[in-house]
Amino acid sequence: MSAPLLSTLGILFPESLVRSHAFAVLAAFVAINTMVYVTLSVAKALPKIWVRDYLPRGYERAETRSIYPDGPR
């Protein structure tokens, strides 16, 4: 395809538009929005991390109440 045909279809923007301040602000907004979306998507795909699983339990009994006294607490 030739360049005049591409510009009439709206595929290419004129250089004055691409170098404008408003276009730069819009491009920055789109970039930040994309990064936020990717971060949220990756965080949703990963398994949940529970902080309490890695901390010592304060409510653990001193002795077992199981019928197997040598079993785990």
Domain layout of the chain by residue ranges: 10-48
Global pTM value: 0.54
Residue 23 near residue 17, CB atoms below 8 Å: yes
Instruction: Give the separation between CA 29 and CA 15, rounded to whole angstroms.
Output: 20
pLDDT tens, position by position, 32-62: 999 999 999 999 999 988 887 888 777 777 7
Q: Calculate the alpha carbon distances from 30 to 33, 39, 72 in Å.
A: 5, 14, 54
Q: Does 1 have pLDDT greater than 60?
A: no
